[in-house]
Structure 1
């Protein structure tokens, strides 16, 4: 798939499928017959109906779950925008592979298929069967000084995301979650989002890995300088991605696009994942109908990105870890919604009187 995508970089323009309207209607009709007042389960009802359309069946389920974490380093880390040193990216890749990270604990609890994909780290990642090696370069260039990715690097990163979805052919998951790891990637995501939403960097800049107030102000100033340097128009999502993004963010964009093309439901994680979703939806607006949103993170920019996507997250727990952790945490809520939808009795089945007309 990677070679094919590089030969045909226009694959990202392939049509996104549409959810099954008949399955949506059947699920909605079932919801109206269940032994409860209409709307009494709130958003649990709505997400069950939405998943029904995505999965093309009146009773959706989430049994087969895929979680893929994309990892890469960023040149802007040299400017001190993170509280952690850059070698942490490679160290965390090894931690994912050994099962010691938060997202791997949660994925294990859910029985999810989990993988980590290394697109390029400055420090060497120990050889491990648990790491998919898709090295593009040790890191992106520092986007405060120059374009982060070349055109070829951007195409490679997008293709890696698509490849990880295409490998699922024949065993399509009920739900896909993308996570990310990369020191400096909140800065990259902030720059992309601010440029595409025509916002000032300070409106979106947050603590990331734990910066204090003065450090956040310095980080925002550097990001704003980069935004001014690149001067990307709001309708140029790929340009924003290549100029200020990261390999792992681009891989998530590619994965999301391919999910829409392959009719696979997506549960989007936090700020960085949502910025990737924003880029993907600007490229293919119909992709939005394949997305649910796991949580609203504590990063201040996330609320603005969610608003731009017209998205209402399932949870709000002040998380800002990344990795896909917030989305994975929301899966049990979706599973509960599906089971209520499928297993509750109808008024007729239970012999319970429906409301008077």
Structure 2
């Protein structure tokens, strides 16, 4: 395994490669088919290279631990608004989650419904493509007139188009107060209806989840505003059931799908919120679920799922226009199924063309996204 210290090292290593390369930052997001090849260890490319609190921007090398960035931002009462999820508990992995891995996987948490995804906060990227070329796109401001929006393209590419070496991000101020409204005893349909009503209101809900038969609705901001909006939401949803308020709810419980961690097989399913109850109703007995994003994101947990179960789930999700990704499962399952939702023919052709353009030798995370 190579321990690289600079972008030039990464470019040289890729240029000289004779076979497949496995891109790894902190090693905490081991999703996709098990890979073979020489590991490119990005942990040596670490550190915040520029932070301008007044401009709400931060620039960091791809191997920078998330904790370092969060500590730097907290000192100026700022934060990453997209709330990236952490897979270390679910996958039982060790190591430090890195900012490069977060952007490469577009890891976004409950606040996505209000603030946007990780890719929406990525202002610029530097990366090395599969031919060893160093490429820069975007910058430290939101306006981007450089042509192709490679910032968005690299966000969620899972290292199959290039190896991120540096990212520029927009950050936001931290909030003064947070509270969560909890309504217990709701089934999936009732929950989605209530969450949709809350999200469609003018009261700026920043989290809407269904956990263990209860919905959680998060309200954040200035203390006076939070008090007013939480009260207005209580009035709006009074007929739904008994509503309690809790200022201590830990939203990482939802963000990281903590209730499902003990399941051997876990999927991350994305559909229209109105289709969430339909997906849950079609799952076999013994399945445990958690809904986020008002019902649009469903975490699905099972024990000892088969290849047929996986194929049936993805086929059902395809009819709804969504996608299901196998996040956790035995290597024997991950090696023999389409971990990521199979693409439609048109999208597959576009993906193939992009990979041939950015990684003509097909050496970066080879097979990770294979159908």
- Normalized per residue, the structure richer in strand is 2
- Normalized per residue, the structure richer in helix is 1
Structures share a fold, TM > 0.5? no
Return the TM-score normalized by structure 2: 0.21
Greater relative contact order: 1 or 2 (C-alpha under 8 angstroms, separation 6 or more)?
Answer: 1
